[in-house]
Structure 1
């Protein structure tokens, strides 16, 4: 048992490009980095990882900063994500200001301040506030295609101050994201992924390109233990892909292109789209 755990942890440790957090509702497997929403974070999740991020529950509009801080303190979380509002820059920014003024001092976990895209716009608009912050979480990425995710993250890095830590919410594990993480050590410092647990719940599994295909898993007593084993393997696969361990020949064959820039087509600035830039704070 210890040999298997040591081998798994050695592979994870080889991934020095980006720290991968699993979005976890399960306690049936150990993985060092976990993110749990405020409604699911408990002592069992805490014991199943080394580092825990407690996030606000996006599916519960009634959740506020006070709720997230209370839960983070209860489970002794390492990091906390203040309440954010997907696609609404103004409301998310107001929540970050509220958190800093009213709650940060009573929270033992270290906060990641959330931005909604376009990130470069909101950062420069309120640079006097964000210039003193050193941990950022980039939200609202799930609604963007793979190439645009890469472009928006890079645009933020270009305007943000030095010495920051950047977490990517919902970026997925596309070819473009994996390539960018491997080629640019300042692209993302960490990301979270729900695919390992959600895919096996939906009777699917992923391949080396993180593409899902049908994979039937029986249901019944303690079947979650079986699913957990596959979720753990998917996390192992992703960390392996992000490490220097795969052969260059294999990575060139499957991840192509001479550089990430060659893979990213010019699709214009996100500011051309409706990204919550108005003063209307209606969710």
Structure 2
């Protein structure tokens, strides 16, 4: 008999997916329907859109006006007696506290629901994927185009490639400013982010021109403050990076995420690590620091494990871009590319978790052995 038809074990603790579905039922979010009725590998993913977070906030008389999605997460935590988490999405403990506070009884969903969720396009079963992601020292954000053939929680795309279908297929979506296209400006980036309901937008910088970048970012922040877009804003820095960050701070611009730009084409990790340390020394440990197009090589991963506060997030498109060129052309070639990219992503993310071990100390494990 297929495990999908078996009744769930009632003595098992509810998982995050169970609690999300239960909250979805309470607030009438279409989470259960998304899992059961989905005909694609990605649209079954369960996550909270800003509109969902606003509705939960409204249940606690929290006014969402002027608050980002991250601010709303922490405002809700405060109402249910949970500590702030720098605006991170709800953890399992947060979800459990929310379920109890709403007078609900936590429950384990039938296997049909949760096992379909576990198979909903993630490169590995959903619970294992989130175990890795929650343990990672940095958020790994995927760029590139895989035709939405796999689920990855965090995506970044430039303005000229950003689409609603990609936004709907992930839990965190970032619109980049397409800085190499001079016809696309901060207005385009903010408009696109607002139209798609993006979680964050990267403002436009000027390639390897620090002074022009500072001017562009100062103007971009001023434009953001009067724009309808109300998500997070990421400020890309150009070299000299420390001075660029310092000048923005001199303008009173500090309550934003910073990013290191201009190093996407570097073939070695040392310039990226040096830039991250230089900026971190200026902005402090509490500010969010992102590596734009940093990639995730073993040496970079080692540096992150050795200094988990160095970066908060990074993005790259390497898993999709560097596919096996022997894959024959034709229909559904991207399906093979997506499968290869999935494997690469899982391998790379594990390198920035405590689970990774140096090759010299790692003991041999049999195929599919316990780890």
Unaligned runs of 5+ in 1: 204-214, 254-283
Alignment partner of 1:25 is 2:145: yes
User: How far does residue 22 in structure 1 lie from its aligned partner after superposition?
Assistant: 0.3
How many equivalent residue pairs?
Answer: 239
More divergent stretch after superposition (190-199 vs 98-107): 98-107
CA distance in 1, matches of 2:152, 2:170: 5
Match of 1:86 among 193, 199, 207: 207
**Map of 1:35-184 to 2, 5 A cutoff?**
35-106=156-227, 107-129=229-251, 132-144=254-266, 145-184=268-307
User: How far does residue 182 in structure 1 lie from its aligned partner after superposition?
Assistant: 0.9
Alignment partner of 1:217 is 2:327: yes
State the structure with bigger RCO (CA 8 A, min sep 6), 1 or 2.
1
Contact 1:147 1:176 in 2 (8 A): no
Contact 1:24 1:45 in 2 (8 A): no
Q: Secondary structure at the match of 2:359?
A: helix
Question: CA 1:67–1:42 in structure 2 vs 1: closer, same or farther (change >3 Å)?
Answer: same
Question: CA 1:125–1:70 in structure 2 vs 1: closer, same or farther (change >3 Å)?
Answer: closer
CA distance in 2, matches of 1:230, 1:189: 26
Aligned residue number for residue 44 of structure 2: none
Contact 2:289 2:312 in 1 (8 A): yes
CA distance in 1, matches of 2:265, 2:144: 21
- Higher CA-based Rg: 2
Unaligned runs of 5+ in 2: 1-115, 363-371
Q: What's the TM-score once normalised by structure 2's chain length?
A: 0.60
Q: Secondary structure at the match of 1:39?
A: coil
Q: Secondary structure at the match of 1:77?
A: coil
Aligned residue number for residue 229 of structure 1: 339
Match of 1:15 among 127, 135, 144: 135
More divergent stretch after superposition (188-197 vs 4-13): 4-13
CA distance in 1, matches of 2:131, 2:285: 29
Q: Deviations over 1:5-34 (max 9, x none)?
A: 324423432433100000032311110010
Q: Deviations over 1:13-63 (max 9, x none)?
A: 243310000003231111001001101111111122110110011332110
Return structure 1 stretches of 4+ with deviation > 3 angstroms: none
Higher strand fraction (1 or 2): 1
Contact 2:156 2:174 in 1 (8 A): yes
